[in-house]
A = this chain, B = another copy of it.
Amino acid sequence: MSMIGLFDSGVGELTVVRELIRKYPGADFVYLGDTARYPYGNKSKETVERYAVEDAKFVIDQGAELVIVACNTASSLAMDKLRATYPDTPFLGVIKPAAALAVTQSKTSVGVVGTRATVGSGIYDEVIKELNPKLKVLQKACPLFVPLVEEGMIDDQVTKMMVRRYLMPLRQKNVETLILGCTHYPFLQPLIERFMGKRVKVINSAEAVVDKAYELYPGLFKESKDSKQTISFTDASSHLDSLASKWLGKKFVGTAVSL
């Protein structure tokens, strides 16, 4: 058995699981959504670290040999703490793979959108500058995008207004790539691409992290005979099960766990 662990603060990051299943349908994984303490986006570094360590313990205890931190907030605030706490387990966050992809496709400037916590941490700026110090990084926090997605207002007049309001400064500055630095945002990708125009390449961090994980640990993605794919929530509900099943294209029943 070769088990991939994933955790995140809620359900938005199921977009990472969706990518995983789409590309490697037989891979074993254990996924935890910390829905009881969702969202992490506006919480302090100390609190996000504490939650991330508890989340990681759960998937490691279930046999995970690699942990994908499928949450931009935890990826930007808690990676050092996770690696220090569990030195024997490799961790992969969603920030670096997306940043690396953006760098290969940009000559002068990269745009980044995310939650207030992710943008405030400056992590994308830091990682991109490490890879190419000449690139300008223009960031914009879009705190209403998550609630709009969760309300299903994917193609709504109000959402269009907020896309325009948040992204206008990035469009005016002619960014060449735009990183969707929050895994809820791929649901708004069509609206965002329409607003930004064809010359801007939009980068989905969920897709980037799955590609990177496969590149680094291909052995973990092989199909097993008795494929084991489990989803757990700290606050389980039938609403979450139907959301997960709909998004992932196959039936899942989430297990309720206490951390």
Contacts and interface: CB of A to CB of B under 8 A. Distances in A.
A235 B44 contact: yes
Interface residues of A, number: 21
A81 to B, nearest CB: 16
Contact of A47 (B36, B148, B165): B36
A157 B161 contact: yes
B43 A235 contact: yes
A234 B144 CA distance: 24
Contacts of A236: 44
Contact of A158 (B36, B151, B161): B161
A253 B37 CA distance: 24
A162 interface: yes
Contacts of A44: 235-237
A143 B146 CA distance: 12
A84 B36 CA distance: 23
A197 interface: no
B47 A235 contact: yes
Interface string A87-126: 0000000000000000000000000000000000000000
A237 B43 CA distance: 9
A218 interface: no
Contact of A36 (B43, B151, B234): B43
A148 B161 CA distance: 14
B144 A151 contact: yes
Contacts of A147: 143-144, 147
17 contacts: A36-B37, A36-B47, A37-B37, A43-B235, A44-B236, A47-B234, A143-B150, A143-B151, A144-B144, A144-B147, A144-B148, A147-B147, A157-B161, A158-B158, A158-B162, A158-B165, A161-B161
Interface of A: 35-37, 43-44, 47, 143-144, 147-148, 150-151, 157-158, 161-162, 165, 234-237
Given A44-B236, A44-B237, A143-B147, 14 more contacts: A36-B37, A36-B43, A36-B47, A37-B37, A43-B235, A47-B234, A47-B235, A144-B147, A144-B148, A144-B151, A147-B147, A157-B161, A158-B158, A158-B162
